[in-house]
């Protein structure tokens, strides 16, 4: 049994619907008071006695103030209907009538005693009160509310088709729905707990208040009416009202609502004759462009745009970031099947995640704004080091070194490996430009930030090429030569134009090659150098102590005559001496604005073969990577804020037969692109089922991970990307996409009342047009069980027959007393 409690005491006026009559009564009283006040002012001027003049003036001021207040109230009763629906209205009217009567008696019968005037005033006031009660018919109501009342879920379809306005200068379907829903809530808020919902695939729970509807744009890409209804019932709604155009293209089955257990009242919004082909519309189909780009480098995006019924209209296409335009482009629309393309350019100046928006302002002719905006995520990274590796012959060092440098996510490598005289194997490209041979001009050398020479002799480069390379290093490039059989002093580089660049003297030594195996030893400078940061424990320590972690031995090295005056020795061969000093293995120096290095070893591939299982922690990878970064002056480049995970799903809508390419960009703890992360995607489909897939690193684009999946069913998919590395989480990012049937959200705009009628029939509710919203409210109230309804017990505060007799009696008594006292 549902126990009822008194929740409120209300006063209703059965005559309050006639606002004009109410306002007319007060307006007449106000006009009479103002007229009386003016007459009293004139009378006070004619009076000769000071006392009479003061009484008349006082009465006139009171009358004028009351008259003005009455007129203001009468106007407010018309403009603000609430003024005529509260008890204060009756109290104000009674007070105005009482003041009018009192002023009348005070001016006409002022010479009577107070008791006589009081009796006449009371009789006339009682008569007026009886008259007002008969006019406005007040009723006292006790409102009894049950402890347990129903919960009504009001759901508005916020898909793209609801953004259509079916006629010019008419509100959109969505706006009409919000207005109708608020009217319905006003009628039912005492009968139910109200929960508000907007179904657009993004909002999956109740809104804070009906005002939230105003902040939602109807741009959902899929309409799934069963999912929208179940969203409300899952939140506790015992009855649902659905505002929609009835266009169903989602995965939900209407028949699944048969056993819902809650009635659904459907309200159709929108014309049943609207045609998509005749509706003016602009749609940004997709955005094409790189999803990763280096900082301070110009990026070009291409927006693919389709329009209908807007030929020869000129629009502006904007590229925005954080709601600020970066660039705009003028476009003349050519409506039809073939889309148009617009190129937009910008230059990012900050490293990290970047979400861009391509936007076309909504034209007055457009019936929908759902397709006028599209977003495009990007990851802005540190610029890659452009590196050129020239090798004179194929040897064991070449393959591992090339593979390691080519797979480094921060290096863009171009290699020229001579396989036979006059023939080079060329791999890689510089900034997208293929290289056809050795650089022959200074400009070509300066395209590269680091140039590495392998086992090549001085005659490999012409004198002019050597001069140009030297000048490129002076201007800021990095240069390194690595150990071999035919380079350094043996290769004649001591007499070349490039000799000043080397950090070591290139005079011939005896022997020119050291053949004993050894583990390099750190110098004091080497232990502190960024080139050997994090891997110093693999080398013999400066004090001669063995390495804490043993590296495989190098099988000899080139013998250098000694370091130059400005050079720094980082590694030596502790078991060999050249010119009375430990043999140099690695020496570096600054040259002009650039940097140079000489590495004597040529068997570091042994480090890679044995330690490759260490992955990114391998001293081989870190040694070569950090050496190249130092030569490029990497410490001067911009760095990001650290690890990041950036979802890169290119499209938001996929056809049911399409595979979806999941793609994500990952940076490590240092903000560098990495291919050693463990990346997974948790996918939740429209039915709430989840699955986890692992993404694989792209071979050609380090830092990018991908996986193709085939979606199961239509609707919204939510993807959570997670990346881990060495036991640490690098971050998460989320993205949504929609799988739709071949009939897209905006491909059909005519409302479907039959679908809404079927939903109402299956669930035991009823169907209504938007114009019948008030009748629907009454049907919903009537359908509720009696024990869950609010009960009102009415007590009329009037009786027309009795009050009429009392009205006549009061006026008769007042008339009799005036006659008795010989008053006019």
Distance between CA atoms of 628 and 143, rounded to whole angstroms? 83
Phi, psi of 450 (to 5 degrees): -135, 130
**Longest Cα–Cα distance in the chain:** 152
For 368-381, write each residue's pLDDT tens digit.
676 788 888 787 87
Q: How many CB atoms lie within 10 A of CB 20?
A: 11
List residues bridging with 303 in a β-sheet. Answer: 287, 342
CA 63/CA 341 separation, integer angstroms:
76
Residue 192 bridge partners (DSSP) = 150
Tell me the C-alpha distance between 479 and 483, whole Å: 14
How far, in Å, CA of 319 to CA of 345, rounded?
A: 8
pLDDT: which is higher, 549 or 492: 492
Q: What percent of the chain has pLDDT over 70?
A: 86
Whole-number Cα distances in Å, 39 to 16, 33, 34, 42, 496: 33, 10, 9, 5, 121
In this predicted structure, the answer to whether residue 84 has a pLDDT above a threshold of 50 is no
Strands 239-244 and 150-157: parallel
Instruction: Examine the pLDDT at 341 and tell me if it is beyond 90.
Output: yes
Helix or strand run (H / E) with residue 768: strand 767-769
Among the ranges given (386-400, 648-662, 687-701), the one the predictor scored with the smallest mean pLDDT: 648-662
Global model pTM greater than 0.75? no
Best CA proximity match to 703, nearest among 767, 620, 654, 646:
646
- Torsion over CA: 67, 68, 69, 73 (sign): positive
In this prediction, residue 499 carries a pLDDT of 95
pLDDT bracket for residue 17 (50, 70, 90) = very low
Q: What is the pLDDT at residue 10?
A: 60
**Residue 636 confidence (pLDDT) above 50:** no
Provide the pLDDT for residue 637: 39
Encoding tokens for residue 249? 């293209």
Contact 637, 383 (CB under 8 A): yes
Per residue in 807-822, pLDDT (tens digit) is 888 888 888 887 887 7
Per-residue pLDDT of 561-601, as tens digits, reads 999 998 999 999 988 999 889 999 999 999 999 999 999 99
* Pairing label, strands 4-13, 138-146: antiparallel
- pLDDT digit string, tens, across residues 710-756: 888 777 889 999 999 888 899 898 888 878 765 556 667 788 899 99
What distance in Å separates the CA atoms of residue 540 and residue 570, rounded to the nearest whole number?
A: 12
Contact (Cβ atoms closer than 8 angstroms) between residue 675 and residue 702: yes
Q: Reply yes or no on whether the pLDDT at 524 is more than 90.
A: yes
Q: Give residue 639's pLDDT band: very low, low, confident or very high (50, 70, 90).
A: very low
Average pLDDT over residues 383-394: 90
CB 572 within 8 A of CB 557: no
Q: Which residues, at least 6 apart from 677, have a Cβ–Cβ distance to it below 8 Å?
A: 666, 668, 697, 705, 723, 724, 725, 730
Q: Which residue has the tokens 């009835």?
A: 246
- Tell me: cis bond preceding 506? Omega within 30 of 0 counts: no
Give me the percent of the chain exceeding a pLDDT of 90. Answer: 36
Question: Which of the four pLDDT bands, split at 50, 70 and 90, describes residue 638?
Answer: very low
d(CA 150, CA 790): 11
Residue 428 has a CB neighbour count (10 Å cut-off) of 19
Q: Tell me if residue 447 falls in helix, strand or coil.
A: coil
Across the chain, mean pLDDT equals 83
pLDDT digits (tens, 9 = 90+) for 257-308: 998 989 999 999 988 876 655 667 888 888 888 877 888 888 999 999 988 8
Instruction: Tell whether the model's pLDDT for residue 86 goes beyond 70.
Output: no
Strand, helix or coil for residue 668: coil
- Return the minimum-mean-pLDDT range out of 181-185, 244-248, 263-267, 783-787: 783-787
438-456: per-residue pLDDT in tens?
899 999 999 999 999 999 9
Q: What letter would DSSP give residue 566?
A: T
> How many residues comprise the chain?
824
What is the per-residue pLDDT for 649? 81
Q: In this predicted structure, which of 41-50, 92-101, 625-634 has the lowest mean pLDDT?
A: 41-50
71-80, 167-176, 289-298: which range is least confident on average?
71-80
Query: Using CA of residue 342, residue 343, residue 344, residue 348, what is the dihedral sign?
Result: positive
Who contacts 700 (Cβ-Cβ below 8 Å, separation ≥6)? none
pLDDT single digits (tens) 673-702 = 788 899 999 999 877 889 999 999 887 777
Query: Is the separation of the CB atoms in 453 and 483 below 8 Å?
Result: no
CB atoms under 10 Å from CB of 706, counted, come to 15
What is the average per-residue pLDDT within 110-135?
79
Averaged pLDDT for residues 88-111: 73
The pLDDT of residue 356 is above 80 = yes
The C-alpha angle 73, 75, 77, rounded to 5 degrees, equals 70
Query: Contacts by 541-545 with C-beta closer than 8 Å and gap 24+?
Result: 544/574
- 340-346/581-591 β-pairing: unpaired
Predicted local distance difference test score (pLDDT) of residue 228: 92
Judge contact between 724 and 678, C-beta under 8 A: yes
């Amino acid at each position: 049994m549902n126990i009822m409690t008194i929740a409120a005491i209300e006063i209703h006026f059965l005559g309050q619907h006639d606002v004009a009559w109410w306002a007319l009564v007060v307006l007449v009283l106000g006009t009479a008071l103002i007229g009386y006040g003016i007459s009293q002012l004139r009378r006070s001027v004619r009076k000769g006695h000071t006392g009479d003049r003061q009484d008349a003036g006082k009465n006139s001021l009171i009358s004028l103030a009351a008259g003005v207040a009455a007129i203001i109230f009468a106007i407010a009763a018309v403009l603000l209907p609430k003024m005529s629906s509260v008890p204060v209205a009756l109290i104000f009217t009674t007070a105005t009538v009482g003041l009018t009567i009192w002023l009348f008696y005070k001016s006409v019968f002022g010479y009577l005693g107070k008791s006589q005037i009081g009796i006449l005033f009371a009789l006339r006031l009682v008569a007026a009160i009886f008259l007002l009660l008969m006019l406005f018919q007040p009723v006292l109501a006790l409102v009894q509310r049950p402890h347990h009342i129903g919960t009504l879920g009001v759901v508005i379809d916020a898909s793209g088709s609801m953004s259509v306005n079916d006629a010019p200068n008419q509100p959109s379907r969505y706006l009409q729905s919000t207005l109708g829903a608020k009217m319905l809530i006003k009628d039912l808020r005492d009968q139910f707990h109200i929960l508000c919902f907007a179904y657009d695939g993004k909002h999956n729970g109740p809104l804070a208040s009906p005002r939230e509807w105003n902040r939602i744009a109807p741009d959902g890409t899929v309409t799934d009416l069963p999912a929208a209804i179940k969203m409300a019932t899952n939140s506790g709604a015992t009855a649902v009202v659905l505002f929609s155009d009835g266009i169903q293209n989602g995965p939900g089955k209407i028949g699944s609502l048969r056993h819902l257990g809650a009635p659904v009242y459907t309200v159709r919004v929108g014309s049943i004759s609207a045609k998509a082909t005749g509706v003016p519309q602009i749609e940004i189909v997709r955005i094409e462009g790189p999803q990763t780009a280096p900082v301070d480098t110009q990026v070009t995006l291409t927006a693919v745009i389709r329009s209908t019924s807007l030929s020869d209209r000129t629009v502006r296409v904007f590229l925005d970031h954080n709601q600020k335009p970066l660039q705009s482009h003028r476009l003349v629309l050519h409506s039809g099947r073939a889309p148009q393309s617009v190129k937009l350019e910008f230059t990012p100046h900050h490293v990290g995640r970047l979400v861009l928006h391509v936007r076309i302002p909504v034209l007055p002719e457009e019936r929908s704004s759902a397709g006028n905006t599209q977003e495009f995520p990007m990851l802005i990274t540190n610029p890659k080091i452009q590196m050129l590796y020239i090798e004179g012959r194929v040897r064991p060092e070449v393959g591992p070194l090339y593979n390691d440098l080519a797979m480094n996510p921060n290096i863009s490598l171009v290699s020229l490996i001579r396989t036979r005289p006059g023939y080079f194997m060329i791999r890689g490209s510089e900034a997208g430009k293929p290289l056809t041979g050795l650089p022959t001009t200074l400009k070509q050398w300066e395209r590269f930030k680091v140039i590495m020479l392998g086992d090549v002799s001085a005659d490999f480069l012409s004198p002019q090429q050597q001069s140009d390379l030297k000048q490129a290093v002076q201007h800021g490039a990095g240069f390194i030569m690595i150990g071999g059989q035919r380079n350094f002093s043996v290769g004649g580089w001591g007499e070349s134009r490039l000799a000043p660049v080397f950090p070591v003297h290139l005079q011939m030594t005896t022997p020119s090659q050291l053949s004993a195996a050894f583990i390099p030893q750190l110098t004091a400078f080497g232990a502190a150098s960024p080139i050997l940061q994090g891997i110093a424990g693999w080398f013999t320590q400066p004090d001669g102590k063995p390495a804490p972690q043993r590296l495989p031995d190098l099988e000899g090295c080139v013998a250098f005559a000694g370091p130059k005056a400005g050079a720094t020795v980082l590694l030596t061969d502790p078991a060999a001496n050249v010119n009375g000093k430990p043999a140099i293995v690695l020496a570096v120096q600054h040259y002009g604005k650039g940097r140079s290095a000489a590495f004597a070893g040529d068997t570091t591939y042994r480090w890679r073969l044995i330690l490759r299982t260490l992955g990114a922690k391998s001293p081989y990878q870190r040694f070569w990577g950090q050496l190249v970064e130092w030569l490029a002056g990497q410490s001067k480049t911009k760095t990001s804020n650290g690890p990041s995970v950036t979802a890169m799903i290119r499209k938001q809508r996929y056809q049911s037969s399409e595979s979806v390419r999941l793609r994500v960009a990952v940076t490590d703890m240092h903000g560098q692109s990495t291919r050693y992360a463990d990346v997974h995607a948790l996918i939740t489909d429209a039915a709430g089922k989840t699955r986890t897939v692992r993404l694989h690193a792209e071979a050609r684009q380090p830092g990018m991970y991908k996986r193709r999946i085939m979606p199961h069913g239509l609707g919204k998919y939510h993807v959570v990307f997670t990346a881990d590395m060495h036991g640490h989480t690098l971050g998460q990012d989320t993205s949504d996409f929609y799988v739709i049937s071949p009939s897209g959200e905006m491909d059909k705009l005519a409302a479907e009342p039959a679908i809404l009628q079927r939903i109402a029939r299956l669930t035991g509710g009823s169907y209504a047009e938007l114009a019948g919203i008030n009748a629907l409210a009454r049907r919903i109230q009537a359908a509720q069980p009696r024990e869950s309804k609010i009960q009102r017990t009415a007590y009329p505060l009037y009786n027309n027959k009795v009050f009429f007799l009392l009205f006549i009696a009061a006026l008769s008594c007042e008339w009799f007393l005036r006659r008795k006292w010989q008053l006019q």
